[in-house]
Structure 1
Amino acid sequence: MEKETGRIEGFSDGVFAIAITLLVLDLHVPEKDSIKSGNDLLIFIKNQWPTFLAFILSFFSIFIMWVNHHKIFKQIYTRNTGIMFANGLILFLVSAVSYPTALLAQYFNDEASSAVVAIYTGIFVLINLAFNLLWYLASKNKKHLRPGISDIAIRKIHNNYLYGLPIYIFALVFSFWIPAISLLIILGLWIFWALSSGKIEMSMKE
């Protein structure tokens, strides 16, 4: 079977690259006249820690999403309108990550921390739902998938994305009480999604 998703994957890679590049725009150097010594520079950098935290969290979140997106399209060989629009939804949400990242960098260390963390975790809940939608639309008819993929492999990938959803929702709910814990959950999800991409790779061999 000839693979028909090359243009989708190429376009998606471009959007992921732009989205991850936009994150660096929130990293600012101090005004030249405001720094008189090395100590002033260190104090400025120290006070910018929410910005660096937001950048690191979002960079690796988008990177791991790109890895999983690449792996899932190793399984998808043909496309229809539903698959294309579900993929477009993923790209729309990924491209929007820079905005809640900027909010997190600006307001995490003040009274608005619960609200900005809720917005930040909320975008990842939506992205996870979009990934689940993409795989559902692709896998409900095996003709869209790589030749020879087993029902067990399809179910493993489905469960892999589905299991991440309640964790994201838990992080969203927890953001209203202890925002820092929600960010730690997001950090833990790096590991989950990194490992999950390995599961998808293993499913390809089944």
Structure 2
Amino acid sequence: MEKETARIEGFSDAVFAIAITLLVLELHIPAVESNNNREVLMNSLLAQWPSFLAFSLSFFSIFIMWVNHHKMFKQIYRRNTPLMFANGLILFLATCISYPTALLARYYSTPSATVAVAIYTGLFVWINLAFNLLWGIASRNKALLRPEISTDAIKKIRRNYQYGIPVHLSAFLLSFYWPGGALILCAGLWTYWAFTSRKLDLSASPTANLL
């Protein structure tokens, strides 16, 4: 079966690249009164730790999104209109990440950290729902998928993404009480997905074991 998704994948790669590049705009050179004073410069750099934290978390999250999106489309061979719009929703949400990243960088070390982290984690609830929607549309019509993929494999991939809904929702609720813990919870999930993304690398065998 010939793949029909090349243009979708190419466009998606470009959007992910732009989204991940936008994050660096939040890293600014410190404005110091004395350029020759090493202590002032060092203190200014250390004071920007929330910006470095926000950049690192968001870069990692978008990269994991791209990896999983890429591997998901290794299993999707055909397209239809609902699938294209679901993919567009993922791309829209990916480009939105730069805004809560900026909020996190600016307000994480202030009393408003709970609001900034709630917006940040709340966005990832929507992103996870969008990924589940995309795979749900693709797997509901097996004609859209790679011919060799098994029903068991489809279910295992679905379960892998469904873990994110309760975890991201828990992080969102936790952000109002412990912002740092909410970010740790998200980072833990993204790390899990990084190690389990190989579940989408299915062999040609219909009985391929995803483990």
TM-score normalized with structure 1 length: 0.97
Write out aligned runs for 1:41-80 (5 A).
41-80=41-80
SS in 2 for 1:191: helix
CA drift of 1:203 comes to 6.5
Aligned to 1:189: 189
Give the Cα–Cα distance (whole angstroms) in 1 for the partners of residues 187 and 111 of structure 2. 22
CA contact (8 A) 2:32 2:44 kept: no
2:35 is aligned with what amino acid? I
| Number of aligned positions between the proteins | 206
By percentage of residues, which structure has more helix?
Answer: 1
Give the Cα–Cα distance (whole angstroms) in 1 for the partners of residues 170 and 200 of structure 2. 24
Structure 2: any 5+ residue segments left out of the alignment?
none
Give the Cα–Cα distance (whole angstroms) in 2 for the partners of residues 132 and 180 of structure 1. 26
Aligned to 1:91: 91
Deviations 1:90-126 (A, max 9, x none): 0000000000000000001111100110000011110
CA contact (8 A) 1:153 1:204 kept: no
Cα distance change on mapping 1:35 and 1:186 into 2, 3 Å: farther
Deviations 1:160-179 (A, max 9, x none): 10112111111000000000
Aligned to 1:198: 198
Write out aligned runs for 1:117-156 (5 A).
117-156=117-156
CA contact (8 A) 1:12 1:91 kept: yes
CA contact (8 A) 2:32 2:41 kept: no
CA contact (8 A) 2:32 2:40 kept: no
Alignment of 1:113 with 2:96, yes or no, is no
1:134 is aligned with what amino acid? L
2:16 is aligned with what amino acid? F
SS in 1 for 2:109: coil
Give the Cα–Cα distance (whole angstroms) in 2 for the partners of residues 193 and 38 of structure 1. 41
Give the Cα–Cα distance (whole angstroms) in 1 for the partners of residues 197 and 62 of structure 2. 13
Cα distance change on mapping 1:98 and 1:193 into 2, 3 Å: same
1:30 is aligned with what amino acid? P
Identity %: 61
1:110 is aligned with what amino acid? T
> Which aligned segments of 4 or more residues in structure 1 are displaced greater than 3 angstroms?
32-36, 202-205
SS in 1 for 2:2: coil
CA contact (8 A) 2:148 2:204 kept: no
CA drift of 1:34 comes to 4.6
What is the aligned-residue RMSD (CA, Å)?
1.2
CA drift of 1:33 comes to 4.0
CA drift of 1:199 comes to 1.3
2:139 is aligned with what amino acid? S
